[in-house]
Each structure stands twice: as structure tokens, then as C-alpha cells.
Amino acid sequence: MQTIYRLTLVFILLYSCNEKNKTFSKSEIAILPQPSSVVLGEFSFSLEDGMTVYGDAKEAKKGSGYFISSIKDFIKINLHKTDKENADILFKLDTSLNDDEYNLNIVPKQITVSANGYGGFFYGVQTIKQLLSKEIPEGLNEAKYLIPTVNIKDKPRFKWRAYMLDESRYFHGEKFVKQMLDQMALLKMNVFHWHLIDDAGWRIEIKKYPLLTEVGAFRTDSEIETWKSGKTSGRPHGGFYTQEQIKDIVAYAAERNITIVPEFEMPGHSSAAIAAYTWLGTAGIDIDVPIKFGRLYDNYDVTKPEVIQFIKNVLNEMFELFPSEVIHIGGDEVGYKVWEESKSVQKYMKEQGIKTPADLQIDFTNKISQFIEQNGRRMMGWNEILGKNIHKGFEEKKHDKEAETELAKNVVVHFWKGDIDLARDAAKKGYDIVNSLHSNTYLDYNYKSISLEKAYGFNPIPDGLEKQYHKNILGLGCQMWSEWTPTNSDVERQTFPRIAAYAEVGWTQLENKDYQSFKRALKKTQKHWDSLGINYFKDDE
């Protein structure tokens, strides 16, 4: 009996040893987004409870700390920090690498992550998590977590890889935002563009102006189904984030190497604010927070000093909440009719020598840009801020003249609509561009309009743009406008899986992109989404 026990024990130990030395095939390596270089070795590394982790510098220690907590959350394995360099997992500073670049070397006895800063270490961790394979050897109950031996060199194609969530139309909540940040992090996206302010709701607590949330964050009803449907939900809607909640979410994002860029719409899309404080508007009419979505044409009266001061006061509180270098001011779809019909606005324009409402908008935008720059930040806005009329098909824009005033050069132009020549010309003039062409990146569009393959095929660099200007294309954003997606499940279905395609557009070098390889890697990511209950769109729907 004792002999049988010994033979069984030897068999189990040998089997365990063989599992540790499992050789992975190329088809088993599924990483999203696709790295720059992958060299697969023989055998594997077994990640086990009690292993040690070492970081050799401040940012490396921060990265190693994140790895320990992340693995505990991910697969319930406890790892321990050590000050000994012969640890099982090493995080080593390599100043020859660029920001967010990392090298990952895995041999049977050790993992080494090399990077120049926290971003690179963080992305190395995401790759390790995607490489993890759960193996349960036959005859054993305990799972083994194996990682293929591999050498990976990796860096992003673009430095701006954004996902935008519109919470003005529908408030989605802290738990959902954190889930989105987690999924962005796994896919190596680094900018969360947070659309918190628009006509349909004001979602950020501003202590100097409490009515912005007491009034502006709530509406009595909501238009449903589609534009001008004539139908409403029959239910009130509202919600906002306190400043403490925002600070917590910003810190949560920063730990995942994600910068939160808030959007404070001005001078249009301002109905929620005007509903709270009538004097902000041009028309001087009391209004409610609108229940219909679309273009609403009372704007901030940018000729009033008290309105300019209001905007600066709100920005000052936002500066305290958001450490982002960039602050987004919207600037899109500004209807000029209310300015044209205002005697005081027309008088101001005449006195200041401002020829058109488009010039008035740019004059205002440049002043706000200057204020933002004085506070150590940089302004970003949708491409209407260039003063070009990109809405000529709409009745209210048919006769609008284009601005002669030039937009300040330090502004980041967020291209979403119009002739692609506008983006090319802006890049040639020295503007930094984030390309979010609506026909290719708007997640509220259905899958017939933007299929997964079409999303994957988007190239942020416009065709025909000379190579010397490519550096002015910072990257891309994909936008989840939520007019017709009231629930979190609705937003998930529109976002996933296309967000993975945009992640690879932003990260992977063109020569390494392959749609079929992407689809294979996506299957593993979809299993992860299944485990979280994420309602992603299926191809057969």
C-alpha cells in the first residue's frame, strides 16, 4: 500500500513538473492589442502563491506594487515584495525606452519587466495577465497558472488612445465608470474622455454654483428611441458626481495609467447650466433642463463679463479635480441665431470689430484658451472651433459665414466631422489633432454603419498627409454618445467589442495589424467579458 502511495505521489510530482514545463504554441498566444514583437520560447513559467517581486527604482516599485494587487484580484494568488534582486518577478528601470514602452522577458524561472516609467510597467502587467493560462492537470484539483516563456518588445503607435463616455444624456454611475476604466486598462487605452456637461444634464458638483447640480442635473422626462420620435420615457432622470467621487475616480484611473479629460461644453450645448442660472444665457428666458435631445440654440452670452467669470470659476474648480494637462471645452454645434438676434451681442461685436458670430466664438475660445494656458493646462475642442462651417446641410447653418479670426495654435483640435481636408490643413498649420471621424468612431452608430472590421480598419492619419506632419496626429478617440442608450447594458452592447478594435488601432503598428489575428485574440477577451457579465454585441445578432 505504501509503495502504491509513493508511486502515485511520484506520478503527480512528475505530472506537475511537466505542466510547469508546458510548451505553448503560437496559436495559444492571444494578446490585445497586438505587440510590436513577440518571440516565443520553450516551456513555461508557473505563477505560484508566495512568489517574490522586486522593483529597482521608484516607478518600478510602483509597478511591482500594482502587479501584486492586480494578481491577487485577478486570480487570488498572493505575491510578496522583496528587496532582493534574485526575486521571481523583476521590475527594472530602463531609461533607453520611451514612455509607455516596455520589454517583457519570461524564462522558466523568472519574469523581467523593463520600462522607463510607470506606464510601461503597467502595460507589461496587462500583457502578463493576458498571457496567463489556467491549467488543471488530470487527477489534481488545484489549478496551475502558467505563462509561456516569451520575449516581447512593445510600444504604442499613438500617445492618445481614448474612449469617451457621455454621461450628460444619461448618468451611468461610479461602479460602471470603474468597470470601463478596468477594461480600457486591459486594452492599453490611456485617455478617458468624460462628457459630463451638455444640454441634457450637468453631472459635476461645482461648490460655487450649487444650482448647477440641484437644478441642472435633473430633468422631468427623456426623449426615447430616436431623433424626433415624439416619444418619451415618462420617467424623470438625474444624477451627478460629488467632488469626492470624482477625486476617487481620477485616482482609480491614474493607477491604471489613464488620464481623465473632462469636457465642459461652451459656448453652446449649455441648456442645463442656463436652466440653473438664467443670466448665463443670451435670450434671458427661464428654461427647464430639456427632455429632447439635439441642437438647442440658447448659448452662453459670451459678451457678459459675469458669464466669462462664471466659466473661469467653474474651470478653477475643475483644475483642482482633474490633473489632466488637457481640458476639453466642446465648442461644437453652436447655433448663432440667438447671438444674431441679441441687440447687446450685436452692439458688442460692432464695438470690438468682430464681423461674424463665428469670429465671436473664436474670440471667446481664444480667451478661454489663454486662461486655461495661464493655469498650466491646454485646451481641446471639437473642430468647429477652427471657425469652419461643417454643418451647411442644416437650415440654421446654411448662411453662416466662416470665421476670419485664427484659432490659437496651442489648442488641440478634436476632429469629428467635415471634409478630411480640414484635418490635413490643420495638421500642416501646426495644430495637434485627435482624429475621431464620426463615420468611423461613433459608438452610438449601429453595427451596420460601423462594423467591427470597419472600426479595426480606421487609420487616424488622414490619407495624403505628408509624413513630416504625422507627428501632429496625436491619436484617436471612440465616442459613446448615450442619447439612445439609457441603460448600462445598452452602453456595453454599443461599446464592446468595438472598443478592442479601437484599442488596437491606437496601439499596434500598422505592419503588425491583422484582422484575423485580432479576431482570434478577441475570443479570449470575450471570455473575460463573459466572466464579468458584460453585454457585448455578438456577430450573430
Segments making up each domain of the chain, as ranges? 15-154, 160-532
Burial class of 104 by CB neighbour count within 10 A (0 to 12, 13 to 18, 19+): buried
Q: From CA 313, how far away is CA 207, in angstroms rounded?
A: 10
Among positive and negative, which fits the CA dihedral 94, 95, 96, 98? positive
Q: State the cell numbers at 317.
A: 474648480
Q: What are phi and psi of 267, to 5 degrees?
A: -90, -5
Tell whether omega for the bond before 33 is within 30 degrees of 0, i.e. cis. yes
What's the residue count for the chain?
541
Burial class of 175 by CB neighbour count within 10 A (0 to 12, 13 to 18, 19+): exposed
- Residue in 511, 451, 502 with CA at minimum distance from that of residue 160: 502
Question: Under CATH, to which class is 15-154 assigned?
Answer: alpha beta
How far lies 283's CA from each of 122, 212, 297, 352, in Å?
50, 19, 9, 21
Domain at 160-532: CATH code: 3.20.20.80
Q: Give 160's strand partners.
A: 475
- Residue in 404, 362, 400, 397 with CA at minimum distance from that of residue 383: 362
Predicted pLDDT at 24 = 82
Decide: 267 and 300 in contact? Cβ < 8 Å.
yes
Q: From CA 298, how far away is CA 336, in angstroms rounded?
A: 9
Question: What is the reported pTM?
Answer: 0.94
Predicted pLDDT at 1 = 45
Do the strands 326-328 and 378-382 form a parallel or antiparallel pair, or are they unpaired? parallel
Among positive and negative, which fits the CA dihedral 524, 530, 535, 540? positive
Q: State the cell numbers at 482.
A: 448615450
Q: From CA 303, how far away is CA 323, in angstroms rounded?
A: 29
Q: Give 128's strand partners.
A: none
Q: State the cell numbers at 167.
A: 454621461
**DSSP H or E run through 62:** helix 58-75
Predicted pLDDT at 27 = 79
Asked whether this chain's domains 15-154 and 160-532 adopt the same fold, the reply is: no
Each residue's pLDDT, cut to its tens digit, for the chain (541 residues) gives 444 334 333 333 333 444 557 878 887 889 999 999 999 999 999 999 999 999 999 999 999 999 999 999 999 999 999 999 999 999 999 999 999 999 999 999 999 999 999 999 999 999 999 999 888 766 666 788 999 999 999 999 999 999 999 999 999 999 999 999 999 999 999 999 999 999 999 999 999 999 999 999 999 999 999 998 989 999 999 999 999 999 999 999 999 999 999 999 999 999 999 999 999 999 999 999 999 998 777 999 999 999 999 999 999 999 999 999 999 999 999 999 999 999 999 999 999 999 999 999 999 999 999 999 999 999 999 999 999 988 876 555 555 678 889 999 999 999 999 999 999 999 999 999 999 999 999 999 999 999 999 999 999 999 999 999 999 999 999 999 999 999 999 999 999 999 999 999 999 999 999 999 999 999 999 999 999 999 999 985 5
Predicted pLDDT at 4 = 39
7-31: b (≥16 Cβ within 10 Å) or e:
eeeeeeeeeeeebbebebeeeebbb
